[in-house]
Amino acid sequence: MTSRALFPAVAPFLRLAPVPVIAVASLAIRTPWATAHADLAALLFLWITADSLATGLIVAERMRLGRPPAARVVLAAIALGLVSGVLGLTPPLRSALAGMPWVVAVGTALVGGHLLYGVAGAWAVLRRPGVTKLEAAVACLVPPPLAQLVAKELALLHLALFRWRSPPDVPPGCQAYSYHRDLTPLMGGLLAAQVMEIVVVDVALGIHHRTAALILFAVGDIGFIYLLGLTKSLRLRPVLLTPQGVRIRFGLLVDRLIPYDAIAHVGTADGLERRGAENLSRLVAPNVALTLAVPEARRRFLRSARTVTRLAFAVDEPRDFIGAVRERLSGAECQSSL
């Protein structure tokens, strides 16, 4: 079996491998030895954070692509490791690091060079004609494992804060089916409860401990923004019938394209058994189920793979949706027979 075939199984372990290494090093720099040898301990900790992140990324990217990663990707991992290392230093070690100008100069040059190179690459990506690839632009600044996560966070913040009264995202040639009708009252209630919680916690806790109240207020605001973005995404990202297949979406949580030739049957989700099926509408009971022509094996972290035979989700008008999918399936069969 090739390394690329093994990558899906070992990817979570490769990406998490630097965490225990950095955790052990973080404990080591808090020992009396590290305090007595602050200069050496600071240098070793920076080297461990940068080297562990870069090595894990190089191995993962080599397994995924079958070749070494680009120099820009390695530089991004090193820069992230240096910044994380400086933030993780204890005050005595940070003071010792400030007393070594050559180390500060080298680290600043590496991080600054990466930022300049990354900003130039991101600007070039954003200026390309056509649809902007946010993830590709973010990947110029952070390592690939984080690029997708950061891009999703930025998209959610933009959706929550700046998109008001926007029409649903329906590309040309696609037929949209909403699913937010029953979810809107629930999400509205959750948003109202979140606002009440923020106000009550800030007032009640602020009387006794203002610092804790400010921390919880910030956490509550972040949670409110995320919940608002998710609520708006339920309306703006409907399920689509595209020329290629059924694009199942559920807000920002799910976005999957199932080709028509991969669908063996479409029907209601009545009597749907949990085993062998996957519910893609996380917050509402599904009412539509797609039976796959070829079962899929889904890998799960630290658990055995699960065979999925049906994909279940919800739409507001299940009968119309099922009829439209069946028409597309019959049309695809006629074209294949010709």
Residue keyed to tokens 């993780």: 88
Residue 127's pLDDT is 77
Higher per-residue pLDDT: 206 or 292:
292
C-beta separation of 115 from 99 below 8 A:
no
Overall average pLDDT of the 295-309 stretch: 69
Please tell me whether residues 148 and 284 are part of one structural domain: no
- pLDDT-derived band at 301 (thresholds 50, 70, 90) equals low
Please tell me whether residues 144 and 211 are part of one structural domain: no
Flag whether pLDDT at 258 surpasses 70. Answer: yes
Task: Identify any residues that bridge with 241 across adjacent strands, giving them in sequence order.
Answer: 175, 246
Span of 157-166, 313-322, 329-338 with lowest mean pLDDT: 329-338
In a domain, 321, yes or no: yes
Flag whether pLDDT at 61 surpasses 80. Answer: no
Overall average pLDDT of the 67-87 stretch: 82
Flag whether pLDDT at 271 surpasses 70. Answer: no
Please tell me whether residues 77 and 203 are part of one structural domain: no
Please tell me whether residues 75 and 203 are part of one structural domain: no
In a domain, 208, yes or no: yes
Residue 2's pLDDT is 52
In a domain, 108, yes or no: yes
- pLDDT-derived band at 247 (thresholds 50, 70, 90) equals very high
Residue 240's pLDDT is 92
Please tell me whether residues 45 and 67 are part of one structural domain: yes
pLDDT, tens only, 167-200:
888 888 889 999 888 888 888 888 888 888 777 7
What is the count of structural domains for the chain? 3
The domain boundary residue, chosen from 231, 250, 267: 231
Residue 1's pLDDT is 45
In a domain, 12, yes or no: yes
Average pLDDT, the chain: 80
Structure tokens given for 315: 């739409």
In a domain, 165, yes or no: no
User: What is the CA 17 to chain-centroid distance, rounded?
Assistant: 19
- pLDDT-derived band at 44 (thresholds 50, 70, 90) equals very high
Flag whether pLDDT at 336 surpasses 60. Answer: no
Residue 299's pLDDT is 66
Which residue range is the domain that position 214 belongs to? 184-231
Overall average pLDDT of the 46-69 stretch: 80
In a domain, 42, yes or no: yes
- pLDDT-derived band at 332 (thresholds 50, 70, 90) equals low
pLDDT, tens only, 130-162:
545 677 777 777 877 777 777 777 788 888 888
Residue 182's pLDDT is 81
Higher per-residue pLDDT: 220 or 49:
49
In a domain, 166, yes or no: no
The DSSP-derived string for 61-102 is: HHHHHSSPPPHHHHHHHHHHHHHHHHHHS-HHHHHHHHT-HH
Higher per-residue pLDDT: 142 or 250:
250
Please tell me whether residues 262 and 317 are part of one structural domain: yes
51-60, 72-81, 131-140, 258-267: range with highest mean pLDDT: 258-267
C-beta separation of 206 from 195 below 8 A:
no
pTM assigned to the model:
0.68
C-beta separation of 133 from 125 below 8 A:
yes
Flag whether pLDDT at 274 surpasses 60. Answer: no
Please tell me whether residues 118 and 193 are part of one structural domain: no
In a domain, 315, yes or no: yes
The domain boundary residue, chosen from 160, 194, 219: 160
Please tell me whether residues 220 and 248 are part of one structural domain: no
Flag whether pLDDT at 300 surpasses 70. Answer: no
Flag whether pLDDT at 119 surpasses 50. Answer: yes
Overall average pLDDT of the 70-92 stretch: 85
The domain boundary residue, chosen from 173, 197, 231: 231
C-beta separation of 111 from 86 below 8 A:
no
Question: Amino acid letter at 257?
Answer: L
CATH (domain of 280): 2.30.29
Angstrom distance (rounded) from CA 25 to CA 227: 36
Please tell me whether residues 119 and 247 are part of one structural domain: no
Residue 35's pLDDT is 86
Please tell me whether residues 46 and 81 are part of one structural domain: yes
> Nearest 10 degrees: CA dihedral of 27, 33, 37, 38?
30
Please tell me whether residues 20 and 80 are part of one structural domain: yes
Among candidate residues 289, 302, 179, the one with its CA nearest the CA of residue 237: 179
Please tell me whether residues 285 and 312 are part of one structural domain: yes
